[in-house]
Structure 1
Amino acid sequence: MIDHKDFMHGAALVAIADSDMFTALNRASVKYGHYVVNHDRHLFIKYNDGKGPGDYFFTFSGEDKKRISSEPALQVFAVLVCGNEVVTGIARDELSQLIPLATAAASTVKVSAQQGRQLKVSGPNGQLPLIPRRSFPARVLS
């Protein structure tokens, strides 16, 4: 039987593999959802099953934040799969503007994916500039 989480992660991975900028995909660690793309970009994929359009919430546990912040690679991204609506990626430095990566407490990021509008990504520490819906996977591959 195919796990639902595999379908959700597959949405992000297929978009990446279909890009002209894609060269390689490898599993990066034993952590499910942690991949290395093009030998230099670490991706941490999270998903929310919600039905769009609407708001999608992604919880980053203390362990998630520790893994993301301690990854020595320069290019580290959280890839957020918003149900069957949209996939987006945010860089580690952007994520650190939204949630405190250094704390052990869980933190939540919200992606507002209103139909026909750019994505609003926010957390307890603030909001990012609007992100175009079609910016993934170029946002993590360029």
Structure 2
Amino acid sequence: MRIREQDFFHGAALTRIVEHQSFKALNKADERYGHYLINADTRIFVKYRSNEESPWQFNFTATELEGIREDLVAGARVFLCLVCGETTICALDSEEITTLLDINSTVQQRISVEVRQVRGSMWLSGSLGNLDRSIPHNAFPNKLFQSL
């Protein structure tokens, strides 16, 4: 089987996760590509953009939004892991996800990740508006393992 481009980018995120000191287990959450279960209590959706320059635009189909919504409604800890080329990985928690995306939408939604200056933090905007704070590059993967 050929190695696809998405496998490399998803692998970048998954490698950082499995190397974290709190990591115990990685499983597929369901049949969706990019939907994983970490340590039996955290669900992640991994998406990537291969372009090297900021901003990175991530589109979410109605089907992808449905998957996120199902996990949130079930009470799962949910994160989006957005792989931004070979530059950085941005992790969004459920509060940040619902600030940026209308997870009940039946039409495509979007998130833009922008690094405004060299080594600057990430600024995010989405279909519903802007995140009111930046996200540091070193938040991933620690954010996935922090206690509630």
Same fold flag (TM > 0.5): yes
**TM-score, with length taken from structure 1:** 0.95
Q: Give ranges in structure 2 of 5+ residues lacking alignment.
A: none
Please tell me the residue identity of whatever aligns with 1:134.
N
Answer whether contact 1:61 1:105 (CA < 8 A) is retained: yes
- Map Cα deviations across residues 58-114 of structure 1 (whole Å, 9 max, x no partner): 001111111101112420111100000000110122111112111110011000024
Supply the distance in 1 between the matched residues of 2:119 and 2:92 (Cα, whole angstroms).
20
Shift of 1:138: 0.5
Percent identical among aligned pairs is 30
Q: TM-score, structure 2 length as denominator?
A: 0.91
Alpha-carbon distance in structure 1 between the residues aligned to 2:60 and 2:49: 12
Identify the residue that residue 107 of structure 1 maps to in structure 2. 109
Pairing 1:38–2:39 present: yes
Question: Which residue of structure 2 lines up, in the alignment, with residue 94 of structure 1?
Answer: 96
Matched letter for residue 49 of structure 1: S
**Whose RCO is larger (CA < 8 A, sep 6+)?**
1
Amino acid of the residue matched to residue 125 of structure 1?
L
* Letter matched to residue 113 of structure 1: V
Mapping 1:1-142, distance limit 5 Å = 1-52=2-53, 54-71=54-71, 72-114=74-116, 115-128=118-131, 129-142=133-146
Runs of at least 4 residues off by over 3 Å: none
Alpha-carbon distance between aligned partners in 2 of 1:68 and 1:95, rounded to the nearest angstrom: 9
Distance 2:48 2:142 in 1: 19
Secondary structure of residue in 2 paired with 1:58 = strand
Q: Is the 8 A contact 1:40 1:73 kept in 2?
A: no
> 1:70 aligns to what SS in structure 2?
helix
Secondary structure of the 2:58 match is: strand
Q: Tell me, which stretches of 5 or more residues in structure 1 are unaligned?
A: none
Instruction: Give RMSD over aligned pairs.
Output: 1.0
* Residue correspondences, number: 141
Shift of 1:32: 0.3
AA at the equivalent of 1:70: E
